[in-house]
Structure 1
């Protein structure tokens, strides 16, 4: 995932939280905001302090970033996503995380399987 496709600014996060639609399962919360003027999607990842110290939070962000990279061809372009990791993510295998990520993105109607 290219760095230009990441959401970093606090104002952008706030706008997506306020105007976007949220979808959730036990492991993730995803906020989606339609941005038809964009040619690709953008992603912001957040992990709360309750999940652990900085090392744990950064490892969790890397794992979520890898999920996005693996599934980027199936995600809708022209949207901004904020992905919030919840506590159960810490104890899950990569396969289980991937399955949960696909589930929440399908709930958000932003995931289209390869044909």
Structure 2
């Protein structure tokens, strides 16, 4: 379980992150990263998970969410404090182990970060 201050809890924050954030995807995950301009000094990076019924039944979806919360925790600590992160699981995520999910998440986060560098550099 993530601490309350590390979770995205309102639909407006989810919507803003998905619509305005940097997006990178893979076969099993899609990540959206948004940097909050209004973040106060003591803020922390926040996470939201989206695991739809397309991923599987309730047992499968909950297993995927538990695994994602576990593998996101170290990556969340590495993000800037003003970041919001939404991780959307694709149906392929149900068949992956925690290690495979971690590798996929790291790859997607790296792509989202690289997209920012290339956009600002041009």
* Superposed pair shares fold, TM > 0.5: yes
CA distance in 2, matches of 1:76, 1:25: 23
Tell me the residue number matched to 1:82.
86
Question: What's the TM-score once normalised by structure 2's chain length?
Answer: 0.80
Tell me the residue number matched to 1:43.
47
Tell me the residue number matched to 2:120.
none
User: CA offset at residue 90 of structure 1?
Assistant: 1.1
Larger-Rg structure = 2
SS of corresponding position for 1:109: helix
Alignment pair present for 1:29 and 2:30? yes
Question: What's the TM-score once normalised by structure 1's chain length?
Answer: 0.84
Tell me the residue number matched to 2:117.
none
Alignment pair present for 1:13 and 2:14? yes
Q: Is the 8 A contact 2:72 2:102 kept in 1?
A: no
**Root-mean-square deviation (Å):** 1.7
SS of corresponding position for 1:60: helix
User: CA offset at residue 5 of structure 1?
Assistant: 1.0
Question: Greater helix share, 1 or 2?
Answer: 2
Gap runs ≥5 in structure 2: 115-122
SS of corresponding position for 1:44: strand
Alignment pair present for 1:99 and 2:103? yes
Tell me the residue number matched to 2:65.
61
How many equivalent residue pairs? Answer: 110
